[in-house]
Amino acid sequence: MATFLRAFGRFFTKHPLAGNGLVYGTLYVGAEFSQQTITRKFLTDPPQDIDRPTLARYAVMGTFIYSPILYNWYKWLDKTFPGTAKRIIVKKLLLDQFILTPPLLVIFFTGMSLMERQSSITEECRQKFLPTFARSCLFWMPAQTLNFVLVPPKFRVVYVGSCAFAWVNILCWVKRQKMLSSN
């Protein structure tokens, strides 16, 4: 195990974007997989198979879309606002929650709708954005406080990925909620 961890550490140091993408994408898909396991295997009678196309969409979103955005965002944020002084942490929190999060939610809902080939790629976003953003504030503000105070910058995306495992379970639950009829 120690050999594996050293090799991963070297890979992560040499290829931080790819390392972050693999970890974040795996955790992102893991959250959807856990949601499907609960809802499709335990809460339905008879149990249903895992929806692999949905897992693939979460893999695309987590590995190739969110991960590079987060990697570059935290790199910029830590360079622009170095340190862990209280006022720096507050700036990072506010920027993260009110500048980065809204576009990420729009990307999530519209990107998933696009990959699902929905007739309207914006309808779900319009209906679910505000309640999801409110939940996001409750979840991410404390999580990001710990991130900016305790986590070394090179591990920010991994930490966020670990938190995102819980957060994406919330997003998956929100995504599964029925939309109001647009009639």
Helix (H) or strand (E) holding 181: none
Q: Which residue has 């998933």 as its token pair?
A: 112
pLDDT at 183 over 50: no
pLDDT per residue over 45-72, tens digit each? 899 999 999 999 999 999 999 999 999 9
pLDDT at 120 over 70: yes
pLDDT per residue over 90-112, tens digit each? 999 999 999 999 999 999 999 99
Can you tell me the distance from the alpha carbon of 110 to that of 115, in angstroms, rounded to the nearest whole number?
9
Q: Is the pTM of this model over 0.85?
A: yes
Q: Which residue has 């040499």 as its token pair?
A: 14
pLDDT at 36 over 50: yes
- For the chain, give every domain's residue range: 17-173
pLDDT per residue over 153-180, tens digit each? 878 878 888 898 888 888 777 777 777 6
